[in-house]
Structure 1
């Protein structure tokens, strides 16, 4: 799929988690050139900013990865370790603000390796790499979206740009594929965690904080790293649906309102369901028979609430719905259980 244009159709893979994002542990390990702008910026949130009068001793400051002008044959490359190993379904090579200095072409390769090999060894071993996106033309100042048809598990990617230039952000969208053998021997598993393969399917509102934040690793660094809805001016409540990494029986839940002090929900509840087939439209699926896991319970500001004895045993479930009353923000949701 070629670069996104104004009014273009929405690309489904872009809703999948970014396996390479810095906030889930992604790291830019090595680049052959980062003369004008560092490789690490490619994995940061947002699409980058442009500051007209900002310069460094090497030239114009740019929010992204930018190499020098190439005067010899060849191309530039950067190796990224995925924060969450998994199957890659699409990438976004975003050249936002790079107009006269974007690469003409790009390609992407990936590999799966055990342990923590050096980036130098990965760069030298060309036999490890599998091409996922062939050399493809880019547009400047645009999100360049490319679908990937491959179900293999990968741990690293290499972005190649031809011949040189700048990339604001690299997004590697896909499905997390954890090591379930190791997880099942570790006792209770956080079945909601993105790192274990959990995913946020949908929510009714994510005005201030995006839905995927709810299941990211670690505690949030600030309020902006949680899920937050707008102020509700009509009767009702807000909700979010999490697809568990695998079917399981819930034993403990943690609802963390870290950093939410004047905007935390007054109460929350949890419901679960076991679905045999995938479902896309939860908002209009009135036929679903959700089972109560946790009745409405009071919440506090900036606090990690732990519920265990309060949880009802409804057997194995595949999805959990967190309801918040009437609105507000939740930093993290942890759902510990026994895989079925």
Structure 2
């Protein structure tokens, strides 16, 4: 149950957030939604005790359980879970259960937290025992689309990360909708690999918000060897593209001279082999000139094919930085 082909629909990068937590005395519940792997820092303490990279409640003495509510960035169906307790040894939660619900657009978070206002919470994971410092993987018990999760710890303690693997749900009215950014974290896209991320991570180019600074983009170091820098991105499902947008906002003396794009339609392949094969993918956009601190738009006259694809390789020549990369199109 690795769920490698699915999206972590409860990741903060996709817009998921904790909207209420019964107790987070030792560690903020929002940390369990972070995309990064949990870390251990030996000598790091805060006012309440040892700093932990995850969610951790105080020790309960009243016989009740701790819980939190999570709002997903987008409606999703769930296939499985990874309750990661890495670095939680004498303080992990011994048990966990997860429920879901689907509420119509416009329903406020307050109404979700007041469970009496939600007509149906259903079990996604019945009460399960979990182990410390481990990856505890479970299959989801229901395939209904959900917008919110309720996570209950039995009775208290901590978990490092909660991974909720599934697919974002496309309503029927949106199934043929054209004009969305299929290459964004909100749409389930993710960065798989970049040969250089010295000044900024490749995943930044997938953000929805406007660039905040040079640090909010992908930037490589100054290249002193032959060749060029590059990265590989994965979409949540096959898509076609009608317009490509490259934003070099804030990149003035350090934008790439040119760039190109290649694509592939891949399923059931390990990331390592995907990265290696990317050298020979089908060209989507030939090398194009970039300018500083501006938005570049490329349309159908520039795009070389209209075949569905799941993965994108972006090559920048020879090095530099871009703030955002957007593919306007549709999922198929």
Fold match by TM threshold 0.5: yes
List aligned pairs for 1:257-276, cutoff 5 A.
257-258=248-249, 260=251, 264-272=255-263, 275=265
- May I ask how many residue pairs the two structures share in their alignment? 322
Following superposition, the deviation at residue 256 of structure 1 comes to 2.4
List aligned pairs for 1:182-331, cutoff 5 A.
182=174, 184=176, 188-197=179-188, 199-200=189-190, 202-203=192-193, 205=195, 207-208=197-198, 212-221=203-212, 226-227=217-218, 231=223, 233-235=225-227, 237-243=229-235, 245-248=237-240, 250-258=241-249, 260=251, 264-272=255-263, 275=265, 278=267, 280=269, 281-283=273-275, 285=277, 290=282, 292-308=283-299, 311-312=302-303, 314-319=305-310, 320-331=312-323
Structure 2 segments unaligned to the other structure (5+ residues): none
Deviates more, 1:209-218 or 1:23-32: 209-218
- CA change 1:44–1:68 in 2 (3 A) is same
Give 3-state SS (helix, strand or coil) of 1:119's partner.
Answer: helix
Q: CA RMSD in A?
A: 3.8
- CA change 1:26–1:172 in 2 (3 A) is same
- CA change 1:265–1:137 in 2 (3 A) is same
Q: Distance in 2 between matches of 1:271 and 1:210?
A: 20
Give 3-state SS (helix, strand or coil) of 2:114's partner.
Answer: helix
Q: Distance in 2 between matches of 1:180 and 1:220?
A: 32
Following superposition, the deviation at residue 139 of structure 1 comes to 0.6
Show the counterpart of 1:138.
131
Q: Distance in 2 between matches of 1:145 and 1:225?
A: 33
Following superposition, the deviation at residue 77 of structure 1 comes to 1.1
Give 3-state SS (helix, strand or coil) of 2:325's partner.
Answer: strand
- TM-score after normalising by structure 1: 0.75
- CA change 1:244–1:263 in 2 (3 A) is farther
Show the counterpart of 1:33.
23
Q: Distance in 1 between matches of 2:28 and 2:135?
A: 20
Give 3-state SS (helix, strand or coil) of 1:181's partner.
Answer: helix
Structure 1 segments unaligned to the other structure (5+ residues): 2-10
Show the counterpart of 2:157.
165
Give CA-to-partner distance per residue, 1:285-309, whole Å, 9 cap, x none. Answer: 589772x443211224454322237
- Residue 85, structure 1, aligned to residue 78, structure 2: no
Give 3-state SS (helix, strand or coil) of 1:214's partner.
Answer: helix
- TM-score after normalising by structure 2: 0.76
